[in-house]
Structure 1
């Protein structure tokens, strides 16, 4: 009997050991959550999954994610495994760009509105329990809002505030809330309770210009207010210039009082990711995890089915020694480690796992017949463009995509991103889930299963990220389909991460930066590195503050054959400094020598 008990004990220990060993240590943007099918375009019969305007709240050392029009929210204990929660009661309509806040034991929730709507509270958000905190906030004047609201509680003064705004006409607004009257607007006249915090100024702030790479003269939008207090300063954040393009980012104004006056931060934008697969990171929030690390969330653009088709990203963030707020988007859509402590170096969460699949050869088991202008072929899953994709002839088990990496590589993770092509789903019910297998081979003949989502609990994973339990050396990687809901199987990215077996590339030998007469722009050029897969242009307002990154592929048409690019995201009368690094499948080069922008502005200060 004792031997039987001991055997059971050691088996139990082995089980615990395996569970700990196989626990996911990394994450990859776009976030792997169960994005809900969106009914916004139901009348137009456009079906698509989407998620935008995220707010992640650390409440009682657990995390809650609120997203536009999802019918509920997500709960996580580790920032990687998210469970969808359906509330027991819901507002008058689903919440768009909701405000959420944790104060002591209570979570507060408020929706975007131009009408009279209540603030909700919950002491059990993990169970979906909601209660009315007040019955409604008084109506504000026409078109004022509060749309895209943010709630803020100043712990030092025990005062409450709300910020809001979503417009290319109106500014970001702010108002104090009266705690004695259940957080209605302070003062007797709601029409006078709020005031303007700031407007966009695209004539001085290059990154606030609209369009792809800030090239459209259309008047830009500001939205997505958020407030963070740090070292006695108030950082009022905002999204700009519009969600539909690669340059969607977050900026901040800084003040000494919750209602200002505020000064524009010369280092803006604080979160910016115009290059790569998941471009754009605007309209989110800033929060701290259980180790004290800051994070900045945002919205990345898909825009195939409809202009507002989007996903969610989460990037490491922080304040430097000078209280400069920043978010680190360098390799922002490559795998990163989940922190287990407070990090000291802003790049230490990057795994160093490189993209192995860019422009690699792909074969499919079948491809739907389509017009010659449609981008439905298998090679689209490795072009790092979320708006091009492959569609199988039928949505049935056994359909495959096989990538030839060209040589053996150490494979450590994969990401499979789905897109909704001619879908007919308008509700994420129990039939909506994702299952597939990942197999590897060294010879394209003998295959090994390295991941099987068919053995996991059913959930929908439009941006399924799978970290392998053990690195696998192989040349071929295969996606084998099991199930997705709806009539079509469409994949816009099959991304393979790991490392090659060679040396990292050399540092580009030359880098030049020249500020234009229009100080919002600078001309950047660099020398090619043989074999490089891509380059990161890094810049900032001081040689030791290169917080911004623009990623380019080696064959990016926007830089042409001479590797020249016009950067249009700079602030007038602010000096800038630049450096460059090359990357390939083996790793990242050393950073180049830092150069200034040639404007002489740095010498004048």
Structure 2
């Protein structure tokens, strides 16, 4: 009788509605959400082969919407030193493509562009290098378009190049620069001469576009939270034409800091003159898990929505250990460019239509509203590696929202687990598992490099249900694995208190994870609305922020901008932050407005009243 009672009432698995399928017959996911850092098969490096330092990495992204004929565009992602590129039809499922020929060495910070059925590709260089073209990039087919772009004077480049075609004039341009000494440069290219520099003298074909000015632009200052006096770097040029204006974008002040962002200058012609946009930076994400979003590009999806890509920093194994992010972007009614990084490393929807009227606000249509459920919640591991006293590799590190802390299992074997206790039942919508490369000796992403795991949930910690199983998918290295948990067949989410990662396979000696992140919604109420004050310092690049804390909050978003209806910038803080901060990212001579919102597992508060900082002197 007791066994029958347990079968009927004690076993949630037996009575649970089945899950709706989220994969195609070939095993590809059909989910329409994503989460930063992007879930691609980042390649293992070879730059530090001689130093025996092994890590996955990816940086300096360019996503191109490549359209052939009347077919819908397909997406190609090019990243520094990856030995190839990625191809996607939906911005979710990315297939790695190995080219049939490759430049003399791998590409750093490549330039890519699609014009009239042809994809153009060019690498960073200080030497003479060719431009490649492809009409079949999905097959890895490359051809030489020209053999050698003429050499420029010493140290000029073109490093970190960007190609631009003006559809209204049919003229071609290149922009480049990666330096804390030189400016960003630009030059016209001559299409009649296979895109070599226009004019008879390549050494005179280029000109300076602009220099950084950290004495007026606070966000261009170097270091964490712009605190280092070291001279900053400008890099990562990109050009976007919108409404007859030319937006020349750039990354600053340095890839290895949380404040790595993208700014823009605006002009009326492709080579200027350009004016600094007072609302800079346009892409900025200094707080949260995936901090930094500089050095990327801006592209349109098939529905006419803008996106901006960028680079986020890990920097444990090596200073240049990085990942890729993608955020919704656009232009408001005043042609102000923006990139929306609010909850930028929480799950977001991909567009299936053109987003609605902006009405002066950055669109939040892409945000799912799925909140982080396990920030600093208890996590139990099946085993932990015994290490030197200076190493801390315990399970709690996977829930502290710091990509530079991590857990290492006692052994890399199937069946190792991480189990997080949410404290009460929540609706579980997605899980992200970010792998870390702990003392590995892998220097090539061959067929043995892939990741497989299962996600299980439970209401009582005893009876478990498998809600995701990557062993049923084609083998792939999900470095930043993002798994959307399917709804029940009755349309309701999986509800659980406990969520478990069960390991199946990853390459190398150690299993290590630096982020086990659970997303969804609690069953309670969002927190109350906090308040914020902002006082501009004598140095107008800085403002002192203070805010009230509210019960039940997990964190806060400080939002600011150059007008009350243009609060496009966001700095995310956790509730355990002191509640005061010196913001050092402002522009001299520009008034600013601030507001704040609180969030927890259940949702987001209403936005506080907007306040202004002290008047600009």
Match of 1:253 in 2: 265
Match of 1:11 in 2: none
Q: Is the counterpart of residue 139 in structure 1 residue 151 in structure 2?
A: yes
Give, in whole Å, the separation in 2 of the partners of 1:434 and 1:582: 35
Q: Is the counterpart of residue 74 in structure 1 residue 86 in structure 2?
A: yes
Give, in whole Å, the separation in 2 of the partners of 1:18 and 1:234: 41
> Which of 487, 508, 511 is residue 489 of structure 1 equivalent to?
511
**Shift, 1:180, TM fit:** 1.1
CA contact (8 A) 2:397 2:407 kept: yes
Give, in whole Å, the separation in 2 of the partners of 1:600 and 1:395: 58
**Shift, 1:18, TM fit:** 8.0
What pairs up with 1:231-246 in 2 under 5 angstroms? 231-246=243-258
Match of 1:90 in 2: 102
Change (3 A) 1:366 1:84: same
> Which of 37, 47, 52 is residue 54 of structure 2 equivalent to?
47
CA contact (8 A) 2:589 2:616 kept: no
Match of 2:423 in 1: 406
> Which of 335, 341, 361 is residue 353 of structure 2 equivalent to?
341
> Which of 535, 550, 557 is residue 514 of structure 1 equivalent to?
535
Change (3 A) 1:120 1:18: closer
User: Per the alignment, in what secondary structure is the counterpart of residue 454 of structure 1?
Assistant: helix
Match of 2:162 in 1: 150
Deviates more, 1:338-347 or 1:214-223: 338-347
> Which of 555, 573, 576 is residue 534 of structure 1 equivalent to?
555
Give, in whole Å, the separation in 2 of the partners of 1:353 and 1:583: 11
CA contact (8 A) 2:22 2:30 kept: no
Q: Deviations over 1:385-405 (max 9, x none)?
A: 000000001100000000011
**Shift, 1:598, TM fit:** 1.5
User: Per the alignment, in what secondary structure is the counterpart of residue 225 of structure 2?
Assistant: helix
Q: Deviations over 1:451-494 (max 9, x none)?
A: 00011100001100000111211111100000000111000000
> Which of 395, 398, 404 is residue 412 of structure 2 equivalent to?
395
> Which of 230, 254, 257 is residue 242 of structure 2 equivalent to?
230
Match of 2:460 in 1: 443
**Shift, 1:375, TM fit:** 2.2
Match of 2:6 in 1: none
Give me the TM-score of the superposition, normalised by structure 2. 0.93
**Shift, 1:16, TM fit:** 9.8
> Which of 577, 589, 594 is residue 578 of structure 1 equivalent to?
594
Question: How many residues end up aligned between the 2 structures?
Answer: 582
> Which of 24, 28, 33 is residue 26 of structure 1 equivalent to?
33
Give, in whole Å, the separation in 2 of the partners of 1:573 and 1:441: 55
Give, in whole Å, the separation in 2 of the partners of 1:18 and 1:228: 35
Q: Is the counterpart of residue 351 in structure 1 residue 342 in structure 2?
A: no
Match of 2:294 in 1: 282
Q: Is the counterpart of residue 116 in structure 1 residue 128 in structure 2?
A: yes
Match of 2:564 in 1: 543
Change (3 A) 1:17 1:461: closer
Match of 2:197 in 1: 185
CA contact (8 A) 2:22 2:486 kept: no
Q: Deviations over 1:148-198 (max 9, x none)?
A: 000000110110000000000000000000111110011111111100000
User: Per the alignment, in what secondary structure is the counterpart of residue 133 of structure 1?
Assistant: strand
> Which of 564, 583, 600 is residue 580 of structure 2 equivalent to?
564
**Shift, 1:17, TM fit:** 10
Gaps in structure 1 of 5+ consecutive residues: 1-14
Give, in whole Å, the separation in 2 of the partners of 1:554 and 1:280: 21
> Which of 296, 309, 316 is residue 321 of structure 2 equivalent to?
309
Give, in whole Å, the separation in 2 of the partners of 1:166 and 1:39: 22
Give, in whole Å, the separation in 2 of the partners of 1:375 and 1:497: 25
Give me the TM-score of the superposition, normalised by structure 1. 0.95
Match of 1:7 in 2: none
Change (3 A) 1:524 1:16: closer
CA contact (8 A) 2:590 2:616 kept: no
User: Per the alignment, in what secondary structure is the counterpart of residue 146 of structure 2?
Assistant: coil
Q: Is the counterpart of residue 587 in structure 1 residue 608 in structure 2?
A: no
CA contact (8 A) 2:21 2:486 kept: no
Q: Deviations over 1:202-225 (max 9, x none)?
A: 000000000000000000000000
Q: Deviations over 1:528-583 (max 9, x none)?
A: 00110000000000000000000000013xxx2xx111000000000000000000
Match of 1:418 in 2: 435
CA contact (8 A) 2:209 2:271 kept: yes
Q: Is the counterpart of residue 468 in structure 1 residue 479 in structure 2?
A: no
Taking only aligned residues, the RMSD between alpha carbons, in angstroms, comes to 1.4
Match of 1:365 in 2: 382
CA contact (8 A) 1:514 1:599 kept: no
Deviates more, 1:339-348 or 1:353-362: 339-348
User: 4+ runs of 1 displaced by more than 6 Å?
Assistant: 15-18
> Which of 524, 545, 550 is residue 524 of structure 1 equivalent to?
545
Change (3 A) 1:367 1:76: same
Match of 2:332 in 1: 320
Change (3 A) 1:17 1:600: closer
Give, in whole Å, the separation in 2 of the partners of 1:23 and 1:234: 36
> Which of 555, 578, 585 is residue 576 of structure 2 equivalent to?
555
CA contact (8 A) 1:22 1:469 kept: no
**Shift, 1:600, TM fit:** 4.8
Change (3 A) 1:17 1:261: closer
Give, in whole Å, the separation in 1 of the partners of 2:172 and 2:145: 14
Change (3 A) 1:213 1:110: same
Match of 2:392 in 1: 375
